[in-house]
Structure 1
Amino acid sequence: MTKMRALLASMASALVLAGCATTSHPGSDGLYAAPTGGAPVTPNPTPYSEALVCLAHHAQAHNLASPRIAVGRLADYTGRASQDGAGAAVTQGASLMAMSAFAKAGVNLVERFDTSVSELELRYANNRLIRDDQTGQRQINAGSIPGSNFHLVGGITELNYNIRSNGIDALGGDRVDGDPTGVFSRRLWVMNIGLDLRLVDTVTLEVVDVISYQKQIIGRELSAGVFTFWDDAVVDISGGGSSLEPVQLAVRSVVERAVLEISAQLYGVNPSQACQFDDPIGGGASNITGGVNVATAYGSRETSNVQARQNIDRGHEQRDDTLRGYLRGRYD
């Protein structure tokens, strides 16, 4: 009975301590509580970020100019909601990720995604309401806005929650009720996301490149516990943890992988020759990731030099050397 009382006293002390951790009166700094945590801001790279930056340095060192690229709407076409029902399961900001990726690669970008401020200022200038410090009233000049040569559109097209899962549960103990009993549980599951992008000639609306990638995501869960009787008391102790590879970071990864391939085509370089990096995709894959059928869609090689991608490693270690490394309409 004494042990039972000691256990109840410990539980009561924990409850009192938890109650003291909060207060209904602010301190002298005007805060009820200091925020938990304090991790610094860090970069948010993917396995392809270093290659994008390296490609930009290579282009700068060799005076390779890219055409102007506009990023359109990269929408979420999965229609999936988060499992807790709080919103969409995948990010709605894939377009912003693509812009950041192109910027890492040093590609010339023009804004077409959110032009609300520019359009408002143009309207004000047209009504003679905008003033520039140097020239006075802002002038509206024809041809002052550079046009895009290509634009990127597409979206997130796959989100498969449970491609495969497995687990194990174990329970062990003595047949005597008073002896401890141990439990152990392990779970593992795999899901994936998919992306389909198109690069379109802004003037002719011809689709000059198509890319489709997917990335698998892994999750793990581990737990263990002990159950026993302690005189008149019951003791049940358990612990564990779970981890899931960030879904939104997986979206950023497939976006950057696609942008890396497109940027290399725009510069007309082989990224595996320009930069030494370990492509996680590489090695022997043979499925078609995208590209266009040059013979049927754009005529012969004499009239069109659109890229035709022959396997998933197009532009990397298994590059098809028989095709030229630049898009139709590349601007030097």
Structure 2
Amino acid sequence: MSDRIISPGASVSGRRRALGAVSALAVMLAGCVSPVAGSNGLYATPIGNAPVTANPTPYSTALYCLADYARRYNLPSPRIAVGRISDYTGSVSADGGRQITQGASLMAYSALGKSGARMVERYDTSISELELRYANNKLIGEEGNQGPDDPNYRRILAGQVPGSDFYLVGGVTEVNYNIRSSGFDVAGGEVAERGGSGIVQGKIFVMNVAIDLRLVQTTSMEVVDVISYQKQIVGREVSAGVFDFLNGNVFDISAGTGGFEPVQLAVRSLIERGTLEIMANLYGAPGPEVCLDASNDPLGAVGPTGGYYPAYANTDTNNGQTRAEPNRWHDRRDGDVRRSRY
């Protein structure tokens, strides 16, 4: 970015040129937005065209390798439910929102799906409870129901809801800012009246987050496994700038780059590592050496996007093995979608 300030001694023609350039830029920017909707019903087209991609962590590959290990040796997975995995740090960002994700429980569902675990819903049962009440009042008709006098309605059967064997609960328990930081700041310039100056800055800092998880046996409420992990997060910033006088004009030019390791992705990594250790214990897997078998198929019923239950006999033809491909179903990247739009 650069700013140009015209000094009082500058010529009138120079001022006019600068004013014309600013006016042209304003008109160009204004042309990007119209107060009248176009034929597509939009005032403006949103920028960006990145496709949807999988959201793995460094532990995702091990999770679906573990699922393949369980399938290969016919190791049954117990039924697992997920409870509250809350943010107990109380950290709040400058704009008033929570600093740490409130969706750790949802991340745990995805991690368990990658590991091939059998899951039962206990986190949000509102729809099931509502439909059970409707069915109890004979309000839900099954397929082929002909009306209120038709006895073909949904029946509630004893034992129709499978129970959980274990449930996973816990929370994000630590967030520590600026564990260690360092930086440099170098500036220099000329002594002359119209001499220029420059500055170079660099910063690096480290923080961390931590979780504590526990696996509880549902029937006895006995805590059978406990996991506690932390992950450090690094951020860096480098910037440089030049300030100079040229022919009575002032130029201030600066540029920089920076990066901060995503905090919420760190929480997902912690959840996946904890889930990995818990499920390896339930499967009886000794460690990551179970992934060395060349016969492993990491693209079976699970993958980096999560996992699915084979509810229908279509595992040979369904989309389980293509979910992680970024170009699939994208109307600008997948030719099959374009050919069948209309």
Letter in 2 for 1:51: A
Q: 2:171 pairs with 129, 152, 155, which one? A: 155
Distance 2:260 2:224 in 1: 36
Task: Please state whether the residue corresponding to 1:44 is helix, strand or coil.
Answer: coil
Q: Contact 2:62–2:288 at 8 Å: present in 1 too?
A: no
Identity %: 56
Taking structure 2 as the reference length, what is the TM-score of the superposition?
A: 0.77
Residue 182 of structure 1 corresponds to: 198
What's the RMSD between the two structures over aligned residues?
A: 1.7
Residue 71 of structure 1 corresponds to: 82
Q: 2:140 pairs with 121, 130, 136, which one? A: 130
> Which shifted more, 4-13 or 105-114?
4-13
* 1:17 paired to 2:25: no
Matches within 5 A, 1:80-159: 80-85=91-96, 87-133=97-143, 136-159=152-175
1:61-92 per-position Cα deviation (integer Å, ceiling 9, x unaligned):
1101111111111011111112322x111111
The structure-2 alpha-carbon separation of the partners of 1:211 and 1:114, relative to structure 1 and needing over 3 Å to count, comes to: same
User: What's the offset of the Cα at 1:15?
Assistant: 2.8
User: What's the offset of the Cα at 1:12?
Assistant: 3.7
Distance 1:197 1:47 in 2: 19
Q: Show structure 2 runs of 5+ residues with no match.
A: 1-9, 145-150, 294-342
1:232-261 per-position Cα deviation (integer Å, ceiling 9, x unaligned):
211111111221111111100000000000
1:167-217 per-position Cα deviation (integer Å, ceiling 9, x unaligned):
111111221132221111111111111100010111111111110001111
Distance 2:246 2:33 in 1: 33
Residue 242 of structure 1 corresponds to: 258
> Which shifted more, 214-223 or 170-179?
170-179
User: What's the offset of the Cα at 1:8?
Assistant: 4.7
Q: Contact 2:215–2:223 at 8 Å: present in 1 too?
A: yes
1:126-145 per-position Cα deviation (integer Å, ceiling 9, x unaligned):
11111121782111111111
The structure-2 alpha-carbon separation of the partners of 1:91 and 1:193, relative to structure 1 and needing over 3 Å to count, comes to: same
Residue 51 of structure 1 corresponds to: 62
Q: Show structure 1 runs of 5+ residues with no match.
A: 278-332
> Which shifted more, 53-62 or 265-274?
265-274
Residue 318 of structure 1 corresponds to: none
Distance 2:53 2:108 in 1: 19
The count of aligned residue pairs is 276
Taking structure 1 as the reference length, what is the TM-score of the superposition?
A: 0.80
Task: Please state whether the residue corresponding to 1:83 is helix, strand or coil.
Answer: coil
